[in-house]
Amino acid sequence: MPGTQVQESLRAAALLADIKVWGAELGFARLGVANIDLSRDEAHFRDWLENGFNGEMEYLSRHGSKRYRPAELLPGTVSCISVRMDYWPKDAADAESVLAADPASGNPGAASAHLGEGSRPLVAGSGRVGHGDGSLGYVSRYALGRDYHKLMRQRLQKLCERIAETVGPFGYRAFADSAPVLEKALARNAGLGWIGKHTNLIDRKAGSYFFLGEIYIDLELPTDSGSASHCGTCNACIPACPTGAIVAPYRLDARRCISYLTIELKGPIPTELRRPMGNRIYGCDDCQLACPWNKFARPTREPDFDVRHGLDRTDLPTLFAWSEEEFVERTRGSAISRIGYERWLRNIAVALGNAPSSAPVSAALASRKDDPSALVREHVEWAIAEQVSRGESI
């Protein structure tokens, strides 16, 4: 019996070594295997929900314990393969040249944490983030290319097929942000990084600009050692958040997060949070831009994540002038398409209210005073009032 167990362990170790090679061949920047014990994360997640920090994302409270007990979601699961895919577009305009501060307070967002310079896709803490061109729209860098979900699922499926060629049929299910899965906790358990104070996963050799994917499997594989935290006493991400969404280390109030406000929230954006949004029209990267570990981040090698339609630095009046047909065509296959045309205009209206006064900005706002959408009209009215308060006549 002991000899048989040794042989099984050796076979499992050899299979894992092959899986990591196949993962690299499929374009995953890193792959690890996690144990599925998430008991220490269960209490944290349930407390987060009880505090209402999920806002309108009621889907996060569905499925009960299946979210943090993988074997309940997929019976028979004993291991989880976790993968990382980098996304920072190699030719994207520097975030620092686009991000603008709150026009009222001058809060520079990520620039508030002076971290020094490093070799990276963007120099955070250089003192320029938040002092970019406020007439441009800022789109979170993960959303500048094609939506990653389809690509990730395809690659995960190919990996499963390679495994099946070696071991025969086995039970599995692949996920790309597509089911109730605590992906960051599993990635931590798989040694892919630690969960930072901004609640994103951080790899000490690659920063945090990456997507995650998972495969639940009924094969018992050797697990990787979980990652220890390396945030130390650094709190740079917390003051970097323009809206104060990081209410404590490792605790995010999504209701204040610009990513939530511009993507998940369906109705009006709270008035008190509009100025701090600056020119961020889809998502926000500030907490990651402030993180010193991102000096090790590198641009993606995936052409699917390359910038499309110049959305890394397009001026706000041009974006606001898009027809619904143009919006559908230019965001087809991207993450942006999910918010729809109405919320796209809502977000841009806020950014126009925060933009430096100019004839194009005034004309853009005037053009949508009578927009068919009540949601858009209300945000345009707010934006016009903001411009008027700074001396502009519209």
Q: Is there a contact between 330 and 322 (Cβ–Cβ < 8 Å)? A: yes
Query: In sequence order, what are the beta bridge partners of 377?
Result: none
**Count of C-beta atoms within a 10 Å radius of residue 97:** 15
Cα–Cα distance, 148 to 163 (Å, whole number)? 23
Which amino acid type is present at position 332? R
Cα–Cα distance, 148 to 159 (Å, whole number)? 16
Taking the CA atoms of 32, 35, 41 and 42 in sequence, report the sign of the dihedral they define: positive
Cα–Cα distance, 289 to 122 (Å, whole number)? 8
From the candidates 37, 177, 306, 371, give the one annotated as an active-site residue.
177
Phi, psi of 184 (to 5 degrees): -70, -40
Nearest to 97 by CA among 68, 154, 65, 136: 136
Structure tokens at 131: 């002092």
Phi, psi of 320 (to 5 degrees): -70, -20
Q: What region, left, alpha or beta, does residue 359 occupy, with left being phi > 0 and alpha being psi -120 to 50 degrees?
A: alpha
Asked about 371 being catalytic, the answer comes back as: no
Query: In sequence order, what are the beta bridge partners of 251?
Result: 248
Q: Buried (b) or exposed (e) across 130-166, using 16+ Cβ within 10 A?
A: bbbbbbbbbbbbbbbbbbbeebbbebbebbbebbeee
Cα–Cα distance, 147 to 341 (Å, whole number)? 17
H or E stretch at 213: strand 210-217
Cα–Cα distance, 362 to 375 (Å, whole number)? 19
Nearest to 80 by CA among 190, 3, 1, 177: 190
Report the interhelical angle of 148-167 vs 2-25 (nearest 10°): 140
DSSP output for 181-193: --HHHHHHHTTS-
The set of catalytic residues is 177
